[in-house]
Every structure is written in C-alpha cells, then in structure tokens.
A and B are shown apart, each in its own frame.
Chain A
C-alpha cells in the first residue's frame, strides 16, 4: 500500500545548529505535504505545508523543500532553539485525499 517513510527517527543537534528531517512518499499523485510539531504531552500542530506546484516554502526559521521527481520532501529548521525540541511528523495525501503519516522524528536540541 501507500506509505510515507520518515528519517531519522531521532535527531540530536546542538542549539544554534540546523536540523533536517526527510520524508519519502510512494504515491506520485500526492499533492499536499504538511509538517506537524508535537510537543511532549500536547496535540500535533501544523507548522508548515507545501503543495505540489511549489518547490520550496519558508516561514522564518523553518522551510520545506519538495522534489516531486524523487518523491521526497524535507523540513529544515535553522538556528535551532530549545523550544524546537518536539516530535515532528510529515504526511502526504493519498490518491483519495486521505493523509498518510510518517512515523515521526524526535528532535532533541542540546544546550
């Protein structure tokens, strides 16, 4: 079936450094790729999303890039801060417009 693979499962970076999380998807018809952040004990919240007609999107310190040919998309966080520590989920639409979710990446920001 369709799936979304997310890597790495855990990422530890020094405060101030950049973090990159990558996802690959299998459905070539996927056209919507959101990223959600879930802090410990809290609900997932959308932080950025991109559609298939765009290659890159930025919002302050976060950016998402999409490579439709290779069927992968990435989340980039620059100048990481302690409050960036969380679990990040990527997702992609399936052909019937259902979202398929990645398994999550636990991002740890070391002081």
Chain B
C-alpha cells in the first residue's frame, strides 16, 4: 500500500517568503506528526495531530510556524517570513492511534528539504 508522501521534495525560497509543505499520511492513520531534521539540532518534534486537532504543538519554534489538518487526512505545515535558520528537512509521520494509552508505530515520509537563501 501507499506510504506517507510529502511534497515538494525540495523547496528553495528567499528569506522572508512564506512556504507551505504538504503531507499525505497513510490511509486510516489518525495520528500525524511533523518533525524537522537539521545538522545543528538533530531530529526535533514540531507538532502532533490526532484527527484534525493538535493536542501537542509544543515543538513549534516560533509563531511563524503553523500547521493544519483537514478531513483527518492531509496536513499542511506553513512557515511565514522564512529565515535562514529554517533550512532543514521537514519530516512527516503517521500512525494508528495507540490502545490503552500506548503508541502506534510511526511511519515516516521521505521529507521536504527546505533551503532558505
């Protein structure tokens, strides 16, 4: 079956511009996560969705970052007024909701490489 897909695979943008990154999770996965991977910071959690709501936004680094999820499926991560330090690979993952408070296995997409010039 289809895995997690992300688009675009690469994005180069000028400092100060807004960007939108898209994630299509595995069908039926109710949980969706955004992470970013950068040389200096490693793998960092950004935001977690359960259905269309985001109970954990604690990893968003500033108010320039926002995300939404519609129809319990596709999610969009938006970065406004991009800065050079936003350059990273943005990863999306999805999972089935865990049972008894447990955690479903997360499946990762290939990522979007964002370069801010």
B is a partner of A: no
B→A interface (CB under 8 Å): none
